[in-house]
Amino acid sequence: MAFTIPFDNTYAALPGQFYSKLAPQAVKAPRLIAVNEDLARIMGITPGGPAEMAEVFGGNVQPDGADPLAQLYSGHQFGTYNPQLGDGRAILLGETVGTDGKRRDIQLKGSGRTPYSRGGDGRAWLGPVLREYVVSEAMHALGIPTTRALAAVETGETVWREGGLPGAVLTRVAASHLRVGTFQVFAARGDKQSLRQLTDYAIARHFPEAEGPMGLLKAVRDAQAELIAVWMAVGFIHGVMNTDNSSISGETIDYGPCAFMDVYHPHTVFSSIDRGRRYAYANQPNIAVWNLAQLATALIQQLDDPEAAVAEATGIVHAMPGLTEAAWLRRFRAKLGLTSARESDLELVTGLLTRMAENQSDFTNTFRALAAGTARDQFTDPAVFDGWAEGWQARLEGEPDPKAVMRAANPAFIPRNHRIEEMIAGAVAGDYALFHRLNAVLARPYEDQPEHGDLQRPPLPEEVVQATFCGT
Ligand code: AMP
Ligand code: MG
């Protein structure tokens, strides 16, 4: 059967103020690196030959039914409002409704300049494209809501950053690309009508049970609280939690300078541009509340009496820290093998984390080793672990199957940053073996795969990646 994408577009049917319609810019020599056939099938797509798919996912051929556009949005970047954002290097081709009944966006990222490109070239280089491919698919396999990767294509063109680098295009799939910033741009303009249209659209698409702007705010809050808790539970640091990278659906979006922690420390930051440590690991729950407050501020602008809504919106936002903490505790209980809840559990969890931070413990390997009984080896002073473990063992009494609970909550494999860097260096030199191996291993993160034990190893001192850079 021929390559077909059964488009069913709703965003393109909204009025023109929400986007600019334009096609991706063609690239010189598109070559398919990877296509995610499992995801394609769920989306109702019939995959085709590699050359044909490279033309479409490289942006050279517009598939039947696509209605390409760049979306408008604004946002707070590192706390400062920037009224001029939007898809500067991305094009939404359209949407499909999958065999699972789910509607998803198909977006090319790195597909050329748009009216929102500002000074940028609209392009992406291979490194961030492969990083997003591997990390977003790993997140999905870990059970974390996230955008996904449908395809990656080399463009055959050079992208100029610090020097010349191979260009690439990522095909990203999302529940939608609506962000906090999509609402902010119309609020900042005082455009109530557009805000109302967008609110109705978001409710219909993501939270059909929600009632009105405050119902939407609550639904986004709940989704984001769960999301941040599960990030924390796997040691994920997003790196650029700007409001334009904060999705309405509650998916992880925009894999720029993100990374998983190796050694546990709550203040860990990776992003080279986060000089104020705003988006440090332990600060993520606070930032999510701050971002929700920006959404609240935007949403209430559409009401005829915004003042009256302030109290309600404030209450909704103020409830978020408690919700995130509850979700966080539920996740960390499972990481310790607990299915029941006791008041003392918070202290048990923080007791372990504090000791880990003081003992250079690897976050992922320490939790994984709990079920195996070898966690003490992860501490510079194993006696420190033993002291904590006494209380933990006592608490585990009466738990039916703590090992199974732990093994389902503590992954063996995460995309470690030094391996991602190694994978990118290989790909730039034309060797995609590690890219494909990472995708295969990370698709089953909760299974022991002894033959891939090298991918569980934390970085050696000389392998530690100090900073990751934005996906530009
Ligand atoms: P990000 O930090 O990746 O979320 O991007 C922030 C904004 O910069 C978005 O509006 C992007 O579309 C835009 N942008 C990032 N890189 C480029 C680029 N190479 N060319 C044009 N716009 C870009
Ligand atoms: Mg972004």
390 lies in some domain: yes
Three-point CA angle 342, 389, 393, nearest 5°: 55
139 lies in some domain: yes
Q: Which residues line the pocket of ligand 1, CB cutoff 6 A?
A: 85-89, 116-117, 120-123, 240, 244-245, 254, 256, 470-472
3 lies in some domain: no
Final residue of a structural domain among 409, 440, 463: 409
Q: How many CB atoms lie within 10 A of CB 179?
A: 26
Ligand 1 centroid, distance to 255 Cα (angstroms): 12
388 lies in some domain: yes
How many domains is the chain partitioned into structurally?
Answer: 2
Encode pLDDT of 1-20 as tens digits. 689 999 999 999 999 999 99
Final residue of a structural domain among 124, 152, 174: 174
Residue to substitute in 131, 241, 472 for testing ligand 1 pocket (most ligand atoms within 8 angstroms of CB): 472
Ligand 1 centroid, distance to 88 Cα (angstroms): 5
Final residue of a structural domain among 358, 379, 409: 409
By alpha-carbon position, which residue is closest to atom 15 of ligand 1? 472
By alpha-carbon position, which residue is closest to atom 14 of ligand 1? 88
210 lies in some domain: no
By alpha-carbon position, which residue is closest to atom 16 of ligand 1? 472
Ligand 2 centroid, distance to 313 Cα (angstroms): 26
Closest approach atom of ligand 1 to CA 256: 3
pTM of structure: 0.97
Residue to substitute in 22, 74, 107, 117 for testing ligand 1 pocket (most ligand atoms within 8 angstroms of CB): 117
Encode pLDDT of 124-166 as tens digits. 999 999 999 999 999 999 999 999 999 999 999 999 998 999 9
**With 60 as the cut, is the pLDDT of residue 471 above it?**
no
104 lies in some domain: yes
Q: Are 335 and 233 in contact (CB under 8 A)?
A: yes
Ligand 2 centroid, distance to 165 Cα (angstroms): 21
**Domain, as residue range, for 343:** 329-409
Ligand 2 centroid, distance to 425 Cα (angstroms): 24
**With 70 as the cut, is the pLDDT of residue 47 above it?**
yes
Instruction: Report the largest interatomic distance among the alpha carbons of the chain, rounded to a whole angstrom.
Output: 64
d(CA 10, CA 12) in angstroms, rounded, equals 5
Closest approach atom of ligand 1 to CA 123: 19
Give mean pLDDT, residues 45-63. Answer: 97
- Ligand in nearest proximity to the CA of 128: 1
Ligand 1 centroid, distance to 61 Cα (angstroms): 23
d(CA 142, CA 138) in angstroms, rounded, equals 6
Nearest to 263 by CA among 358, 363, 381, 332: 363
Closest approach atom of ligand 1 to CA 73: 10
DSSP states of 270-315: -BTT-TT-TT-GGGHHHHHHHHHHHHHHHHHTTSSSHHHHHHHHHH
Q: What percent of the chain has pLDDT over 70?
A: 99
By alpha-carbon position, which residue is closest to atom 23 of ligand 1? 88
* Cα–Cα distance list, 264 to 233, 249, 268, 273 (Å): 12, 29, 8, 21
42 lies in some domain: yes
By alpha-carbon position, which residue is closest to atom 22 of ligand 1? 88
Encode pLDDT of 310-352 as tens digits. 999 999 999 999 999 999 999 999 999 999 999 999 999 999 9
Give mean pLDDT, residues 72-87. Answer: 95
- Ligand in nearest proximity to the CA of 87: 1
Nearest to 337 by CA among 349, 322, 323: 349
Banded pLDDT at 472 (limits 50, 70, 90): low
Contacts of 69 (CB under 8 A, 6+ apart): 11, 12, 19, 20, 21, 22, 91, 92
Residues identified as active-site: 244
Give mean pLDDT, residues 265-274. Answer: 88
308 lies in some domain: no
Nearest to 373 by CA among 348, 350, 402: 402
- Ligand in nearest proximity to the CA of 177: 2
d(CA 72, CA 123) in angstroms, rounded, equals 18
- Ligand in nearest proximity to the CA of 74: 1
